[in-house]
Amino acid sequence: MNSIDLGGVGMTSQRTRERLVQRLKDQGITSQRVLDVIRTTPRHIFLDEALAHRAYEDTSLPIGYGQTISQPYIVALMTEMVLSRGARRKVLEIGTGSGYQTAVLAQLVDQVYTVERIKALLDKAKERFRRLKMRNITCGHSDGGIGWERYAPYDAIIGTAAPESVPEELLHQLAPDGLLIIPVGADGRQELRLIVRQGESKNFEEEVLERVRFVPLLGGIVR
98 is catalytic: no
Measure CA of the first residue to CA of the last residue in the chain; give whole Å. 31
- Smallest distance from ligand SAH to CB 208, Å: 20
> Which of residues 57, 58, 143, 177 is near ligand SAH by CB under 6 A?
143
**Residue 105: is it exposed, middle or buried by C-beta count within 10 angstroms (0-12/13-18/19+)?**
buried
Judged by CB under 6 A, how many residues of this single chain contact ligand SAH? 23
> Which of residues 55, 83, 94, 152 is near ligand SAH by CB under 6 A?
94
- Please count the other Cβ atoms lying within 10 Å of the Cβ belonging to residue 28: 10
Q: State yes or no: residue 115 binds ligand SAH (CB under 6 A).
A: yes
Q: State yes or no: residue 95 binds ligand SAH (CB under 6 A).
A: yes
Nearer CB in complex with ligand SAH: 132/217: 217
Q: Which residues bind ligand SAH (CB under 6 A)?
A: 67-70, 94-95, 97-98, 100-101, 115-118, 121, 143-145, 160-161, 215, 217-218
**Catalytic residue annotation:** 70
